[in-house]
Amino acid sequence: MESTESPSATATLLVSCADQSGLVAAISGFLTESSGNILDLEQHVDSSEKAFFMRVEWELEGFNIARDQIVTSLKPLLARFDMQWSLHFSDTRPQVALFVTRDNHCLYDILSRHQSGDLRMDVPLIISNHRTLEPVAQQFGIPFYHIPITSETKPAQEHIQIALLRENNIDTLVLARYMQILSEDFVSQFPNQIINIHHSFLPAFPGARPYHSAHKRGVKIIGATSHYVTSDLDEGPIITQDVIRVSHRETVGDFIRKGKDLEKIVLTRALWRHLQRRVLVYNNRTVVFA
């Protein structure tokens, strides 16, 4: 059940811990005892890693525990199972910053989806190392920050970026074809909060110019991959991927043109799932609940 269908506010709890008996019973029992009506519950056990993951969403209306008391009430249970957890409310909108360079397709896709209400988020700012897309930001009335990057200025400019992100309480960064590599220091400040789109089906063709490499190799399928950014370039946990067929008739230019459809759709899908709090990360992999 999704927020588009259930206008009343919900809480979502994400937990992970070592697998053990009684986990589902403990959490579902806790919610039931406080009259929490579970709207959606998904759990996953990775048996080879002995790891447990759960996402549970329940209605706040009728729930006997006040919002600001939920964490306190849950604490003993979370401690007993040594759980990692996060708690989210459907009426608290994620604050998302978009990073772009020159290509407009991912930016338009996200902003038009946002405009039509499909992405539950606010976009307080767009950051770019070029001015090319400033008019698009203006079209949608979103503040645009032009922060050019050179190898010399990068550390200083990243400080400015981070300050802007902090001022705006940004919790999610989307690299919508941002053609700069973030420093390890930058990345470490936003773990599992930076979503990138790479224009190949990783792990094939990491790095620069993947369509050129794909064309040279003569593949019959090209792809796009959305992943969380880590300090290893194009090696972060994959959220979603998609592909499209190509043939010998198609030039690199055709790959680029067709690939844009993949890139924008894969990125926006990943963002949607992230905003729905359906993604958990472990061992550089993701659990993506349906």
- What CA–CA distance (Å, rounded) separates 178 from 238? 18
CA atoms of 280 and 12, how far apart (whole Å): 13
Q: How many Å is the maximal CA-CA distance in the chain? A: 63
Please report how close the Cβ of residue 290 comes to its own copies at its closest, in angstroms: 5
Residue of 8, 18, 32, 91 interacting with its own copies (CB under 8 A): 32
Residue 128 vs 161, nearer CB to its own copies? 128
Q: Which of residues 189-218 bind its own copies (CB under 8 A)?
A: 201-205, 217-218
Q: Which is nearer to its own copies, 57 or 158 (CB)?
A: 57
Distances (CA, A) of 98 to 107, 142, 157, 194, 229: 8, 10, 16, 10, 14
Stretch that binds its own copies, among 28-36, 76-84, 155-163, 180-188 (CB under 8 A): 28-36
- Nearer to its own copies by C-beta: 101 or 168? 101
Q: Shortest distance, CB of residue 97 to its own copies, whole angstroms? A: 21
Is 234 in the active site? yes
- CB burial readout 203-231, b (16+ within 10 A) else e: eebeeeebbebbbeeebeebbbbbbbbbe
Query: Between residues 166 and 257, which has the closer beta carbon with respect to its own copies?
Result: 257
Residues 249-278 that bind its own copies (CB under 8 A): 249, 251, 253-254, 257, 260-261, 265, 268-269
Q: Which residue has the tokens 């067929």?
A: 245
φ, ψ of residue 173 to 5 degrees: the values are -115, 130
CA 102 to CA 27: how far, in whole Å? 47
Query: Under rule CB under 8 A, which residues in 35-64 are in contact with its own copies?
Result: 35-48
The residue from 9, 28, 88, 146 that contacts its own copies (CB under 8 A) is: 28
Closest distance of CB 52 from its own copies, Å: 10
Question: Which contacts (CB < 8 Å, 24+ apart) does range 43-47 have?
Answer: 44/287, 44/289, 45/19, 46/19, 46/282, 47/19
Contact letters for its own copies, residues 76-115 (x by CB under 8 A): ---------------------------xxx--xx--xx-x
Site size for its own copies (CB under 8 A) = 79
Tokens representing 209 are 């110019």
Query: What span, in angstroms and rounded, lies between the C-alpha atoms of 206 and 218?
Result: 16
> Closest approach of Cβ 280 to its own copies, in Å?
9
Give whichever of 165 and 174 is closer to its own copies, judged by the CB atom. Answer: 174
Minimal distance, residue 10 CB to its own copies, in Å: 12
- Which positions are annotated as active-site residues? 234
